[in-house]
Amino acid sequence: MPRGAKPSLFVSPGDRFGHGVVLLGDEVRITRPGAAVTERGVMVACDCGSTYAASLSSLNRGFVTSCGCGGQDWDEQILRRQIRALARAAGYKVRSLTLVRDDAG
Ligand SMILES: [Zn+2]
């Protein structure tokens, strides 16, 4: 890191922000839609298994706490929604849907 360019924001691998854990200390550049400048960001692993890039400022302000799954990683609510969406796309309706968590193993 160049001297005199000490960032005001800093995260370390393993730092947790909501449902996301910082993967790498290496920074990535994030371009916001409509923004002329890029932001400093890092790759983050969500509890649901997805990875995403989040800007440091968003992380530190608590704006970004998941990949977008809302942290509802694979719980019944999001599964039901996804199953319904898949069914609808295929021309089906879900009439009754029972989800039983398989905790064995
Ligand atoms: Zn997620």
Report CA(72)–ligand 1 centroid distance (Å). 7
Phi and psi at residue 61, to the nearest 5°: -90, -5
Of residues 21 and 81, the one with the higher pLDDT is 21
Report CA(3)–ligand 1 centroid distance (Å). 36
Q: What is the pLDDT of residues 41-94, one digit of tens each?
A: 999 998 888 889 999 988 988 888 888 887 655 677 777 887 888 888 889 988
Residue 8: band (very low, low, confident or very high) from pLDDT cuts 50, 70, 90: low
Residue 5: band (very low, low, confident or very high) from pLDDT cuts 50, 70, 90: low
Report CA(52)–ligand 1 centroid distance (Å). 9
Q: Which residues contact residue 42 at a Cβ distance below 8 angstroms, ignoring those fewer than 6 apart?
A: 11, 22, 23, 24, 25, 26, 27, 28, 53, 54, 56, 59
Q: Is the pLDDT of residue 33 over 60?
A: yes
Report CA(71)–ligand 1 centroid distance (Å). 5
Distances (CA, A) of 47 to 4, 65, 66, 69: 36, 10, 8, 9
The structural domains of the chain, with segments of one domain joined by +, span 1-71, 74-105
Report CA(73)–ligand 1 centroid distance (Å). 6
pLDDT recorded at residue 74 = 61
Q: Is the pLDDT of residue 9 over 60?
A: yes
